[in-house]
Amino acid sequence: MRKALPLLSIAILLASAAGAEGPPPGTPPAPAEADGPPPTPEELAKLLADMKKEQEEFTKAIGYRPGPMTGDMGLASITVPAGMQFTDGAGAKKWGELTTNPVSQKEIGLVGPDDGRWLVLFEFDDVGYVKDDDKDDLKADELLDSIKEGTEGFNKESRIPAGLPPMNILGWEQQPTYNEAAHVLEWCVRAESGGEPSLNFNTRVLGRRGVVLVTLMFGGEVTLQQALPEFRELMKGFTFKDGERYAEFREGDKLAEYGLAALIAGGGVALAAKSGLLGKLIKPLIIAGAALLGAIGSLFKKITGKKSE
């Protein structure tokens, strides 16, 4: 699937050369204009066919299923409405492999709109029951310092040796908030790496046996303000199955060795590890291929007067 990037770049170049509107949100920047004659209708048709084939292969490999449906994530489920697609933990792991993003082996699901404007990764960490005793003592400034410290350590140990630019924490986009009734923790860190901005919107849903890590991913021209309302609506359909809810804790269940503050502080390392997955969501993938195919299809029709197959 890594051949998808050149195809998308070529498509954007063709659209640009023909005076079409700019590429859809999140697509890679257009390469420099190439010398030579403009593409023929046959070349455009082949390009469309190749892109469609790669999109179909990608979707098949991931195992995406269209909504409306109920997405089964083992100990939890989520209601997937029409216009969105879902894959389970195995598909989420495959997505990570195909898009060269880190695979934690904790993935339980992946959900997003059909046009790929944002995506939600679900993971489960079986750390045990996390007590929320520190819910009224989440000191934002101290937590931010802890995130910065953890990120600096990860930079030295992993990112820089791997040839990646360091991740720099700039501040809070949204300070930590905890919904005691729903047992949901949220925060958003603003960062940058190599001059590229990155927003890491984190949700942690506490359960009886551990924590569901929910990462909202978006990129290109899509902003947090645009993606967040749709994400929150989607999360209304998330639920733990019977016996897995936070309120169903029983004496003798495994207890986590830390509380809410540590969940947040640990998010700094997660941001540094997943920086390629956030902010540059659609850099190597073809999830947004459907939107781009529509744009190229319109271009094909303008040039040839025919509908693309």
Give the per-residue pLDDT at 203: 97
Structure tokens at 41: 């209708």
Q: Which of 136-145, 207-216, 271-280 has the lowest mean pLDDT?
A: 271-280
Fold that domain 117-273 belongs to in CATH = Protein Transport Mog1p; Chain A (3.40.1000)
DSSP character at residue 103: -
Summarised one tens digit per residue, pLDDT across range 108-127 is: 999 999 988 999 999 999 99
What pLDDT does residue 226 have?
A: 92
The C-alpha angle with vertex 298 and arms to 292 and 299, in degrees rounded to 5, equals 90
Q: What is the largest CA-CA distance in the chain?
A: 74
Give the model's confidence band at 177: pLDDT under 50 very low, under 70 low, under 90 confident, else very high.
very high
> Of the ranges 29-38, 210-219, 260-269, which one carries the lowest mean pLDDT score?
29-38
Give the pLDDT confidence score for residue 37 in this predicted structure: 77
Domain ranges of the chain: 4-60+287-304, 117-273
pLDDT greater than 60 at residue 219: yes
What are the pLDDT digits (tens) for 19-62?
Answer: 333 333 333 444 455 566 778 888 888 888 888 888 788 888 89
Task: Say what the pTM is.
Answer: 0.74
* Position 267 confidence tier, pLDDT thresholds 50, 70, 90: low
Percentage of the chain lying above the pLDDT 90 cut: 50
Contact 104, 123 (CB under 8 A): yes
Instruction: Write down the pLDDT at residue 196.
Output: 85
Answer yes or no: is pLDDT of 212 > 60: yes
Structure tokens at 33: 């204009």
Res. 211: pLDDT tops 70: yes
Q: Is residue 221 scored above 90 in pLDDT?
A: no
| Confidence bin at 1 (pLDDT 50/70/90) | very low
Q: Is the pLDDT of residue 159 over 90?
A: no
Segments in the chain forming alpha helices (H):
4-17, 41-62, 89-98, 140-154, 224-235, 260-265, 267-273, 289-304
**pLDDT for 279:** 36
